[in-house]
Amino acid sequence: MRTDADRLEKYTAKYVPATVGLKIASRLATMKTGYAAGISQIVAYELQTQGILNGSGVAGVSRAGYYNFVREIAGKEQRGSAGAGLKADAVILETKYVAYGFDDGILKDIALTVFGITIP
């Protein structure tokens, strides 16, 4: 069995800043490409949501919850949920956000306009 000194030495060697920097540097291009691909779609969703919120007169701090609703659906979509599965996820999220006090009609409008999901 290794001693605590042995374990500390291994940990210290594993997390030397130079080593960590090299590991990140080798993956940086892939990380940036993946981020750029994901964020461009989310920004498009948020811009559509912003138009709905402007039209509905939602102001200030209340907007954050509606954007989070959009981000949660987008996250489900990015992880492979689609069709009836995505609709079921959206219904669950809509129920959650209504329970938080957000307007049911606005949430349904966002789901339809941004994602093409009709929530009953």
Domain-located, residue 56: yes
Please give the tally of structural domains in the chain: 1
Q: Is the pLDDT higher at 92 or at 6?
A: 92
Domain-located, residue 79: yes
Domain-located, residue 120: no
Domain-located, residue 109: yes
Query: Alpha-carbon torsion 108, 109, 115, 117, what sign?
Result: positive
List pLDDT tens digits, range 48-85: 999 999 999 998 888 999 999 999 999 999 888 889 99
What residues make up the domain containing 109?
Answer: 4-115
Residue that has been written with the tokens 């990380």 in this structure: 31
Q: Is the pLDDT of residue 1 over 80?
A: no
Q: Is the pLDDT of residue 21 over 90?
A: no
CB-CB contact of 42 with 71 (8 Å): yes
List pLDDT tens digits, range 2-18: 788 888 888 777 777 77
Provide the b/e sequence for 85-118 (b: ≥16 CB within 10 Å). ebbebbbebbeebeeeebeeebbbbbbeebbebe
Range with lowest mean pLDDT among 14-28, 72-86, 90-104: 14-28
Centre a 10 Å sphere on the Cβ of residue 11 and count the other Cβ atoms it contains: 9
Provide the CATH number for the domain around residue 102: 1.20.58
